[in-house]
Amino acid sequence: MVSRRCTQRKFLLKPSRKKKVGKAFRYCIARAATLTGVRVHVVCVMSNHYHVVVTDPLGLLPYFTEILNKNLSRCLNALYGRWENFWAGGAAPSYVRLQGSEAVLRECVYALTNPVEAGLVASREEWPGELLEQPGKYGVAKPDWFFRSEEDGGKLPDIEFLELTAAPLAKTTRDAITVLKQACDDRENSIRQARRATGRRFMGAEAVMRQRVDDNPETYAPRRRLSPTVASRDKWRRIELLQIASTFKREHRRCMEAWMTGDRGVIFPFGTYKMRVLHRARIAEA
């Protein structure tokens, strides 16, 4: 699961009637997926952050998020006439490894029901922003306020396609779709019942679209908390994965020290990204 938040929690990804933000996001993520082979399963773009659940078969996830975040920030800054940083500073995108179908389902449901959980709309179908759940091919035209058309010399295609694939939740695509839809529906029903019990109402799509992009939530944002990198309810599997990550860091550091002394034969641990992609360093097999 990949997440990214806007600077100062501003509503820079806020949906609007013309759906320009949604179209820009779809074009940029489609471009990123095309170039990296990352498989996208679900997408939810909230007013000040996004969540996407993906599978990274080629080990190019950092490149995927770089393409998505750079293109999207420049595109939307041009739309708003902004020049400052678009994404929250001081932190990289959040990457959480989802271990097992249970964790995948839980985080997919979290992403897709986020607008309901936040009290914005009563169901995910009412969310006016970009929210993709159904597998299929989604086409989108290149945002004309930023990118040049191919006719005018633009290097990017005028139409890009996002191939949304079913999350690995069941043996067949049909079963995976059914499992995810049912889980999302159940979660939404639970949220609606809880809000009715306390007399709280949903903001509604119209009110969301009336918000200003320079506004931010009035709620307090938790700071200096742990940022999980692994999602699994199996305690021992979670511990094992964290130990593997710790071992990777130590081995990577050792290899970097050797590389800096001129040893180009050093073999970096499996999972190394930057040295493999930028410097063609040797990588251990899985």
Residue 221: the pLDDT is: 67
The region of weakest confidence among 24-33, 182-191, 219-228, 256-265 is 219-228
Residue 154: the pLDDT is: 86
* pLDDT above 70 (res 224): no
* pLDDT above 80 (res 218): no
Residue 230: the pLDDT is: 86
Q: How confident is the model at residue 223 (pLDDT cuts 50, 70, 90)?
A: low
| Type of residue found at 214 | D
* pLDDT above 90 (res 93): no
* pLDDT above 70 (res 6): yes
Read off the DSSP letter of residue 52: E
Residue 21: the pLDDT is: 96
Question: What's the angle, vertex CA 207, arms to CA 206 and CA 212, rounded to 5?
Answer: 115
Asked whether the beta carbons of 47 and 33 are under 8 A apart, the reply is: no
Question: What's the angle, vertex CA 35, arms to CA 163 and CA 169, rounded to 5?
Answer: 40
Higher confidence at residue 236 or residue 157? 157
Read off the DSSP letter of residue 251: H
Q: Convert the pLDDT of each residue in 68-91 to its tens digit.
A: 999 999 999 999 999 889 999 876
pTM, 2 dp: 0.89
DSSP per-residue codes, 203-233: --HHHHHHS-TT---SSPPP-S----SEE-S
Average pLDDT score over the chain: 93
Q: Convert the pLDDT of each residue in 107-122 to its tens digit.
A: 999 999 999 999 999 9
**Tokens matching residue 128:** 């006016």
Q: How confident is the model at residue 152 (pLDDT cuts 50, 70, 90)?
A: confident
* pLDDT above 90 (res 153): no
Question: What's the angle, vertex CA 49, arms to CA 47 and CA 50, rounded to 5?
Answer: 105
